Structure 1
Amino acid sequence: MSRLAIIAGRGALPAALVAALPQAPVICALDGFAPEGLAVDLVFRVERLALFLRKLEDLGVTEVIFAGAVQRPRLDPALFDPQTAQMVPRLMAAMASGDDATLREVIAIFEDFGFAVVGVETIARDLLPSAAVLAGQITAQDEADAARAASIVAALGAVDVGQGAVVAQGLCLGVETLGGTDAMLAVVAGLPQALRPKGGLFYKTAKTAQDRRIDLPTLGPATVDAVAAAGLSGLCFQAGSVICLDLPEMQARAVQHGLLLWAR
């Protein structure tokens, strides 16, 4: 019988996955990145990755899913075990090529140890909404801004930069970079009114060539609030490619703020 481990990071996604599973998984967390609302079974460090993977084997784990936010940890060379030290060159080479390359290499290492790496859409498909207008109504300007934003994000994804953009009346007000969604929306909120058209959409999607088993975009009720605080008229995301945490609450807040919420 297969046993699942969640490599959990910060945020509400790990707990949402646990709630969707028929039996309890093994909860693992990178040191310093504990998930919200979950007891952690195993804490590990990158410098001891090989030892951690052997521990998963001992626990009978056969499948692994990555969920939640982490940042690149600061590594302590004195802590490396011999087998993990042999992985360092491949990890460092991947890190130099960007986030997507790093995540693909992490997946490859887990697979080298015999684990099947699965994605959110495999075990909790309901967290990725299908195409629908979830709140508000779409205007012709929304259609145009969404198409423009989608083309911008596709270009960003091709060079492994980000998964989101803000467009208002055809003008790009912001793109997602290393700081993520919150930082981008804060920049948009701070733009002088004289420089920005009225309204606008925040658009989010997975990168075109990314491995969908890891780092799918995630939105939640706080995102809706941030879109409203940025003075935008709506939030649009690619249907089937974006995780929505507590979708009913997202819809309720979109209605409260008078925003469009659209799975495109």
Structure 2
Amino acid sequence: MTVVVLDRPPATGALPYAEWLAGSGRDLVLLTGTPGPRPGFTEVHVMARYAVTAAVETTVLALARRSPVTAVVALDPADQLRAGALRDLLGVPGQSRDTARLLLDPIASADVLRRSGIPVVRRAEVRRVLDLYRYGHEWGYPLVVRRRRAAGRRVLAVLEDEAALRSFVRGGLTSGRAGSVPDLTVEPPCPGARHVGPGLAVTDAALAALPVEPGHPRVVEAVRADGDWLIDGVRYEPAEDPRAQVRAQVSSAGLALEGI
């Protein structure tokens, strides 16, 4: 039986996973993009272009054909999405892909909160140039265009008017790869006061409405707009103690660990 650790560089670095998972009674297999000695693992697979290669997933599936995978550990948000998909496919307990997506995709988390009656900021996905013109007409300008799933959700443009929009979309929105779809969102600016974490009725309600998964801490952020508090985002919050987080992910899969 096998515990798989997904280690995306450089966010997590060379953490002592094997030391933290001592006493699991399972083979420990590391998939990483960072070369170097990793004592304590049964196998270490170093992958070129780790962030984008499908070899991460196919390697885990090959491992599962040899020995049952009993837990998947991931700290980076993008790896948590991968881990959730693998758990779903292999029937491993723990955070699912859909739950992991809520911490990475602001459109998905807003949909869940809105269905629970929790007010959220105006934000929409952008899949084509026409979407920007549509929201410029419905919401007015300025508009903020951001990366949808990237860490930090970097601002790509602030469109002050339709002329700025035309300049921004000149040449299209995709990377030029065949079949690629823009990974963008659009929203009006929200310059009001902000609150992170519990302590407001709206953030407490949002935290209660979101699935709770051991080893996957999350935080919500609210912004004050037109006199009301609105949820502006839900995101993964790295734990102060990654050891406890790693061990919680394994324990939530039903494995006992020494010292827990």
Q: TM-score, normalised by structure 1?
A: 0.33
Q: TM-score, normalised by structure 2?
A: 0.33
